[in-house]
Chain A
Amino acid sequence: MAKTVIHFENVSKLYKLGEISTGTISRDLSRWWALSRGKSDPVSKIGEVLKKHSDKTVWALSDISFEIKQGEVLGIIGGNGAGKSTLLKILSRVTKPTSGRIRIRGRIASLLEVGTGFHPDLTGRENIFLNGAILGMRKSEILNKLDEIVAFAGVERYLDTPVKRYSSGMYVRLAFAVAAHLEPEILVIDEVLAVGDAEFQRKCLGKMKDVSQNEGRTVLFVSHNLASVKSLCSKCIFLKNGKLEYQGKTDLAINQYLNILTHNQNEFYFDAKENHEACFTSLKITDSKNQLNNTFSIMDFWQLKIGFRTHYSVSDLVVAVGLLTSDNILLRSIFSKPFHAENGNYEAVFSENDIVYGVGTYQIIISLSINNHIIQHIEEPIFITFEETQFQHSFLNTKNKGLILNQMNVRILPV
């Protein structure tokens, strides 16, 4: 049985809201002087009522407990402000928890931001040593790994050039290479893959997989890119408002996360752009009875009602809808026929009866174009979810049957 390498026990972190101190001695003194004479706080904003202590604090993390076993790749997902960064900060000892404890076996290296501690004036080689040492490596270890790091980052030719002359891609590659070759028992990675080209991202993911599977090291991975979380992580924890909402299989955690993200919102309004010839005003997801909804059984009828406005009379106007999977794969694009519109408000209704999509949550993207020229493109968190039906046809056993569940005509003939 694999060893537990990280053990979180009831970890909480309390942040005080507002100013911890006013920042200057004089203001602290005047505040103390005023308060001690029973006058109002000269520093607090006018109209601000002194609230109870409990209102001025926020639990960035509350009562988090989990374990990570050796060789696991654990994904941490959650919306903004869910506590992901706080959790990593505590784990990498940048700050302390308010209560609870964490026990760790092995050396931790965290890659919280690309090129932490890189000095722009130093050369690539000098920065490799500096960065490695900041991350806790001995000089001799770095020396052993130097060739490998340089090859992985692909910066052989620029090794003696100051890093300020590097492209941002090279910068990131070098930074990741140092951290990835660090040989820590535990590697903590936060959103570094957001930069760098697709090929490098694949390389990083490959390296992380390699590190965990073949070398038995543990990786903690925080990302908003659900596709890479899915492809990399065996387990996931899902944080929401500082609480551990779910821990377990990656797929389930991601689905929960998406459910929260969509938050059952099925009606969206967009700010009108007066200076454009046309613009979107609203989007509604409804069922066959025009009731707003965003979660459907796979066989249900659904439709999108897209409101838009034209400011002039325009021709060759096209409304398009795209469906994106949670892996960021564009599943489909649907275009309206080009049409002529006078100045006014319109609604385009997209519906279909034929295609059955696999169970899951899909993002909806809409765009508006005139004469093949895109006027507006909206890629906001608009989601639609398809669930399994209760009355399942045999062919609609939906597990692992692909994104489109419709069958083809199959004829079997003797030859």
Chain B
Amino acid sequence: MSNSEEKWDLEIIPYTGLFDINWRELWQYRDLIFLFVRRDVVATYKQTILGPLWFFIQPMLTTLMYVTIFGNMAKISTGGSPKILFYLGGITVWNYFQECLLKTSETFIANQNLFGKVYFPRMVTPISIVISSLLKFFIQFSLFLITWLYFLFQKTPGTSPNITILLFPLYIILMSGLGFSFGILISSLTTRYRDLRFLVQFGIQLLMYATPIVYPLEIASEKYRWLLLLNPITSIVEAFRYAFTSNGNFSSYNLIYSTLFMTISLFFSIIIFNRVEKTFMDKI
């Protein structure tokens, strides 16, 4: 046959290389990413009375709780910033990271029916989760912004911004990248070990206390501070607070560490995810 050597559009073969990641195909499916984002946002609050207001209620109640317990009862310092602003900022950033991680970590388990029926680049799912979480983050961030502006105009001490606020987009990228890479790594591993799901649920709680969310980094003694700084999220949370309130710890070395950490963990988790997605249907 003369045309048998013509170009084929697709070849299905047993093995592909470790770095054989089809980015172009992912780009072709960009509409699907946005439709998934839309589905997540629309479907979450359908048939709820308050609808998207829940985006505000969650951080507001949590902040109130932290102000009462950690601020007033335990009297933990907030490093000179108003308590509400301090906790709200930490919660907003942390919520975003947590949501990215938890939701992407369920990628394979939650979608096994869908993945078992049709093919599309599996990476579409976690990417869409990060984007829909980002939307939610911006809504919650607007709450923080309003609170912050209120304090700013009241000229409350410890609320003045500084030039590092320009680095804000970098902080978001770092949070997204870390949440995404941890999430897909866990989701790849949970296809084999279901235990990890339970571990993740309470592991993320523990991680929150290993991150300066309910306390400022400065109250940690010099001896143990390096331990907290090993956590790549610590410097991001601190730098975020510093940008808006000039209170907190800003260190470019620590941020470079977080960036490197994110890059390496993205690199490995994408390779592992790409490996697992090919055969996970036989394992799950």
Q: Chain A interface (Cβ within 8 Å of chain B)?
A: 3-4, 7, 15, 20-21, 23-26, 28, 89-108, 110, 112-113, 116-117, 119, 121-122, 126, 129-130, 133-139, 162
Measured in the bound complex, the distance between the Cα atoms of B114 and A134 in whole Å is 9
Partner of A134, one of B14, B32, B194, B283: B32
**Are A96 and B279 in contact, with the CB atoms below 8 A?**
yes
B200 to chain A, nearest CB (A): 13
Given A89-B281, A104-B9, A122-B43: 18 more A-B contacts, CB < 8 Å: A20-B283, A21-B193, A25-B193, A90-B12, A95-B279, A95-B282, A96-B12, A102-B11, A103-B11, A104-B10, A113-B117, A116-B113, A116-B118, A117-B114, A119-B39, A119-B43, A121-B47, A130-B36
Q: Does B267 contact A (CB under 8 A)?
A: no
Considering the complex of A and B, which 8 residue pairs feature the smallest CB-CB distances, nearest first?
A93-B119, A133-B32, A102-B12, A103-B8, A104-B10, A116-B117, A139-B31, A121-B43
A112-B8 contact in complex given A23-B194, A138-B31, C-beta closer than 8 Å: no
Q: Does B195 contact A (CB under 8 A)?
A: yes
Q: What residues of chain B lie closer than 8 Å to A119, measured between beta carbons?
A: 39, 43
Closest to B196 in A: A25
**Are B9 and A105 in contact, with the CB atoms below 8 A?**
yes
Measured in the bound complex, the distance between the Cα atoms of B47 and A122 in whole Å is 11
Measured in the bound complex, the distance between the Cα atoms of B125 and A133 in whole Å is 13
A95 to chain B, nearest CB (A): 5
A168 to chain B, nearest CB (A): 17
**Are A25 and B1 in contact, with the CB atoms below 8 A?**
no
Closest to B119 in A: A93
B106 to chain A, nearest CB (A): 16
Q: What residues of chain A lie closer than 8 Å to B17, measured between beta carbons?
A: none
**Are B29 and A133 in contact, with the CB atoms below 8 A?**
yes
Most A C-beta atoms less than 10 A away, residue of B9, B11, B47, B279: B9
Q: What residues of chain B lie closer than 8 Å to A24, measured between beta carbons?
A: 193-195
Interface residues in B, total, Cβ within 8 A: 41
Measured in the bound complex, the distance between the Cα atoms of B29 and A102 in whole Å is 23
Can you list, as one digit per residue, whether each of B191-203 has a CB less than 8 Å from chain A (1) or not (0)?
Answer: 0111110000000
A-B contact pairs, 29 of them (CB 8 A): A4-B1, A15-B282, A24-B194, A25-B193, A89-B116, A91-B12, A94-B116, A96-B279, A97-B13, A100-B14, A101-B13, A102-B11, A102-B12, A103-B10, A104-B8, A104-B10, A108-B10, A113-B117, A116-B113, A117-B114, A119-B43, A121-B46, A122-B39, A122-B43, A130-B35, A130-B36, A134-B118, A137-B31, A139-B35
Closest to A108 in B: B10
Can you list, as one digit per residue, whether each of B49-91 has a CB less than 8 Å from chain A (1) or not (0)?
Answer: 0000000000000000000000000000000000000000000
Measured in the bound complex, the distance between the Cα atoms of B34 and A129 in whole Å is 11
Measured in the bound complex, the distance between the Cα atoms of B28 and A89 in whole Å is 22
Measured in the bound complex, the distance between the Cα atoms of B94 and A266 in whole Å is 70
Measured in the bound complex, the distance between the Cα atoms of B252 and A37 in whole Å is 51
**Are B117 and A105 in contact, with the CB atoms below 8 A?**
no
For window 218-277 of B, CB contacts with A under 8 Å fall at: none
Q: Does B115 contact A (CB under 8 A)?
A: yes
**Are A112 and B12 in contact, with the CB atoms below 8 A?**
no
Measured in the bound complex, the distance between the Cα atoms of B15 and A99 in whole Å is 9
Can you list, as one digit per residue, whether each of B178-199 has a CB less than 8 Å from chain A (1) or not (0)?
Answer: 0000000000000011111000
Measured in the bound complex, the distance between the Cα atoms of B196 and A407 in whole Å is 74
**Are B118 and A110 in contact, with the CB atoms below 8 A?**
yes
Q: Does B154 contact A (CB under 8 A)?
A: no
Q: Does B205 contact A (CB under 8 A)?
A: no
Q: What residues of chain B lie closer than 8 Å to A121, measured between beta carbons?
A: 42-43, 46-47
Q: What residues of chain B lie closer than 8 Å to A89, measured between beta carbons?
A: 116, 281
Measured in the bound complex, the distance between the Cα atoms of B283 and A43 in whole Å is 18
A98-B14 contact in complex given A23-B193, A136-B120, A138-B31, C-beta closer than 8 Å: yes
**Are B117 and A94 in contact, with the CB atoms below 8 A?**
yes
**Are B12 and A97 in contact, with the CB atoms below 8 A?**
yes
**Are A126 and B39 in contact, with the CB atoms below 8 A?**
yes
**Are B116 and A101 in contact, with the CB atoms below 8 A?**
no
Q: What residues of chain B lie closer than 8 Å to A108, measured between beta carbons?
A: 10
Measured in the bound complex, the distance between the Cα atoms of B30 and A133 in whole Å is 9
Measured in the bound complex, the distance between the Cα atoms of B114 and A3 in whole Å is 32
A51 to chain B, nearest CB (A): 20
Q: What residues of chain A lie closer than 8 Å to B1, measured between beta carbons?
A: 4
Q: What residues of chain A lie closer than 8 Å to B31, measured between beta carbons?
A: 133, 137-139
B6 to chain A, nearest CB (A): 8
Q: What residues of chain A lie closer than 8 Å to B32, measured between beta carbons?
A: 133-134
Q: What residues of chain A lie closer than 8 Å to B194, measured between beta carbons?
A: 23-24
**Are A104 and B11 in contact, with the CB atoms below 8 A?**
yes
Partner of B14, one of A7, A99, A130: A99
**Are B117 and A20 in contact, with the CB atoms below 8 A?**
no
Most B C-beta atoms less than 10 A away, residue of A15, A28, A134, A137: A134
B275 to chain A, nearest CB (A): 11
